[in-house]
C-alpha cells in the first residue's frame, strides 16, 4: 500500500472523467516545503508565517523574514507560493508583545488582519520582506480573518506604499502580486460579493469558519461532534462561496483541515471545488481519492447533498458517493 501511494507522487490529480484538480500544500516549515515539493504539490496554498513570530520576545526583522520567505520560494522551485500574512492573536501563546495580554474572547478578538492593521510598522516590515522575496519565484499574498471590504482596501493601501518605497530604494518588485482573502469569518463568506472584486483569489479557512458558524470552539474537545464540517449550514455556505468565486472568475481553494481528509473528497468535488490546499501528510491519499472519483457524477448529485437535513443525511450521501 505504501508503494502504491509512492507511485502517486508523479501522477496527476485527475478524476476518472479527465478533470485536473489542483492539490496545493499547507506548510509552516522548510521540512514541510521539501515534502510538498517531493510529493508533487502544485505549489503552496498556505504558508503560515506565525511560527516565525512565536517563542521570541521581538518580532523578526525584515532581513530574517526575507531570507525565510526566499528559502521557501526557492524550495518550491518555480511553483506558486501563497504566503499568509501574520495570523497572530491572543488565541496563540505569544511573547512578541504584539498581542493583547488578555482578551475575554480571543477567537473573536484582535487577531489576523485586525492585528496587522493595528501594528502598521510590523505589517509593513512583513510586506516588504514578502515583496523582496517575490523576486525569487511566483508569490501570492493571503490575508487572514478578513471580515470587510474596508480591510482589503487598507491592506492594498499598505501594499502600494511598501512597493513604491522598495522600488525607490532600487529593489526589483513584481508589478502586482495576486492578493487573496481567507474566508473564515461567516459575514465575509455571506457578503463575499461585496469585496470579491478587490481580490484576486480566496481561500476558505474551514477550521475557523466551522468554529464561528457553529459557535463551537475548534479546540474544545468536550464539544465532540458539535464541531464538524458535516452540518447542512456549513455545506450551504461552502457551496455559496465556491459558486460566487466561479461566477467572478476568481480562484477558490479550501485550506482548512477538511481539504486533507480523504473521506470528504467526494463532498468537496460535488460542491464544485477544484483547488485543495492540505497538509503534505495526506496529499497522496487525497490524490488517490480524486483519481477514483467521477467529477460530473458527483456534481450531478450536489443537489441531493445540499438537501440533506442533518449530519446523518450528509453521511448517507457520502456513503453512497464514495469511490
104: number of Cβ within 10 Å? 7
The response to whether 151 counts as a known ligand-binding position is no
Using Cβ positions, the residue closest to ligand PEP within the complex turns out to be 205
The response to whether 321 counts as a known ligand-binding position is no
Q: How far is the CB of 123 from ligand PEP (least distance, A)?
A: 18
Catalytic residue among 44, 52, 214, 255: 255
The response to whether 320 counts as a known ligand-binding position is no
For the window 158-187, what string marks contact with Mg ion as x by the rule CB under 5 A? --------------------------x---
> Catalytic: 158?
no
For the window 208-227, what string marks contact with Mg ion as x by the rule CB under 5 A? x-------------------
The response to whether 79 counts as a known ligand-binding position is no
The response to whether 157 counts as a known ligand-binding position is no
Strand partners, 201: 180, 251
Q: How far is the CB of 190 from Mg ion (least distance, A)?
A: 17
Indicate which of ligand PEP, Mg ion, none lies near residue 256 (CB less than 5 to 8 Å, by partner kind): ligand PEP
> Which CB atom, from 46 or from 314, has the smaller least distance to ligand PEP?
46
Rg of the chain, C-alpha, whole Å: 19
Q: How far is the CB of 207 from Mg ion (least distance, A)?
A: 5
Q: Which of 59, 205, 229, 266 binds Mg ion (CB under 5 A)?
A: 205
Q: How far is the CB of 90 from Mg ion (least distance, A)?
A: 15
Which residues are near ligand PEP by CB under 6 A?
A: 46, 48, 87, 184, 205-208, 255-256
By the 8 A CB rule, do 163 and 99 touch?
no
Indicate which of ligand PEP, Mg ion, none lies near residue 91 (CB less than 5 to 8 Å, by partner kind): none
Q: Which residues bind Mg ion (CB under 5 A)?
A: 184, 205, 208
Mark the binding-site residues for phosphoenolpyruvate, compressed into ranges.
48, 84, 207-208, 218
Query: Which active-site residues does the annotation give?
Result: 255
Amino acid at each position: 500500500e505504501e508503494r502504491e501511494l509512492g507511485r502517486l507522487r508523479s501522477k496527476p490529480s485527475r478524476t476518472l472523467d479527465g478533470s485536473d484538480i489542483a492539490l496545493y500544500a499547507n506548510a509552516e516549515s522548510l521540512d514541510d516545503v521539501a515534502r510538498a515539493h517531493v510529493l508533487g504539490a502544485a505549489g503552496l496554498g498556505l504558508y503560515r508565517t506565525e511560527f516565525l513570530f512565536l517563542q521570541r520576545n521581538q518580532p523578526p526583522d525584515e532581513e530574517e523574514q526575507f531570507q525565510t520567505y526566499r528559502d521557501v520560494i526557492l524550495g518550491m522551485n518555480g511553483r506558486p507560493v501563497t504566503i499568509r500574512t501574520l495570523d497572530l492573536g491572543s488565541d496563540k501563546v505569544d511573547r512578541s508583545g504584539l498581542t493583547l495580554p488578555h482578551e475575554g474572547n480571543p477567537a473573536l478578538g484582535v487577531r489576523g488582519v485586525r492585528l496587522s492593521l493595528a501594528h502598521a510598522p510590523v505589517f509593513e516590515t512583513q510586506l516588504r520582506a514578502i515583496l523582496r522575496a517575490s523576486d525569487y519565484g511566483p508569490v501570492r499574498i493571503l490575508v487572514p480573518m478578513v471580515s470587510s471590504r474596508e480591510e482589503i482596501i487598507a491592506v492594498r493601501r499598505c501594499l502600494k506604499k511598501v512597493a513604491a518605497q522598495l522600488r525607490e530604494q532600487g529593489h526589483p518588485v513584481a508589478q502586482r502580486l495576486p492578493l487573496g482573502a481567507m474566508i473564515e469569518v461567516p459575514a465575509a463568506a455571506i457578503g463575499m460579493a461585496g469585496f470579491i472584486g478587490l481580490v484576486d483569489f480566496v481561500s476558505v479557512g474551514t477550521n475557523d469558519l466551522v468554529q464561528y458558524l457553529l459557535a463551537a470552539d475548534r479546540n474544545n474537545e468536550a464539544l465532540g461532534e458539535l464541531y464538524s464540517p458535516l452540518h447542512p449550514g456549513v455545506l450551504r455556505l461552502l457551496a455559496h462561496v465556491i459558486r460566487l468565486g466561479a461566477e467572478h472568475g476568481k480562484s477558490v481553494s479550501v485550506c482548512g483541515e477538511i481539504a486533507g481528509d480523504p473521506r470528504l473528497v467526494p463532498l468537496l468535488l460535488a460542491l464544485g471545488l477544484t483547488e485543495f490546499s492540505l497538509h503534505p501528510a495526506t496529499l497522496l491519499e487525497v490524490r488517490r481519492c480524486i483519481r477514483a472519483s467521477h467529477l460530473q457524477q458527483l456534481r450531478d448529485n450536489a443537489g441531493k447533498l445540499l438537501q440533506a437535513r442533518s449530519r446523518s443525511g450528509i453521511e448517507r450521501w457520502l456513503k453512497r458517493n464514495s469511490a
